Amino acid sequence: MHAELKRLSRSLIYHGRIIDLYVDEAEYPSGKRTVREVAHHPGGAAVVPLTGDGQVILVDQLRYPLERHILELPAGKLNPGEDPAHCAARELEEETGWIAGSLTRLCAFHTTPGFCDELLHVYLGRDLRVSPAGHKREEGEFTMSLRFVPLEETIEMITSGEITDGKTIIGLLLAARHNER
């Protein structure tokens, strides 16, 4: 912990399948105390699957907290000790039924550092081919559908507000920049 804030105590108030919630008591250098709520997440990985003709494979899926479907990159939670590139490849195949011949790391970023420690790794997937096994969606993913959208058009979809997911925005913008080189 940095000198600006010293953790005095930590209480686990919820242990879930995706996140653990903690309430910390902390102290500033002045001696004033404060409470911090922290969501611990194991991290995840996402992939921008880019076809040979410049189409991005996006997943249209229901996001329960939003009570609607949104367009996103294929992504998922890291398993304990899992390499983020492996996670990205696994999620691409599970959610879309496609396999990337190559993955290039674009970035890693903290999704919501004001209350959560999640670190999300983003990759560009190229040399795509259809998986012989097809997709391997979990029950909560059965309503997913795929949209193939030209990369240039996805940038316009960000600007218009059609794409609002943070990891998807970051991934698409970096993929577009990487594609310009």
Query: Could you give the angle at the alpha carbon of 162 between the alpha carbons of 124 and 42, nearest 5°?
Result: 50
CA distance 1 to 50: 40
- Residue 139 designated active-site: yes
Question: Tokens 């903290």 identify what position?
Answer: 110
- Of the candidates 93, 139, 141, 153, the residue annotated as catalytic is 139
CA distance 18 to 45: 14
**DSSP line for 113-173:** TTTB--EEEEEEEEEEEE-TT-----GGGTT-EEEEEEHHHHHHHHHHTS---HHHHHHHH
Instruction: Check the CA dihedral 42-83-110-32 and report its sign.
Output: positive
Element (H, E) at 75: strand 75-77
Enumerate the active-site residues: 139
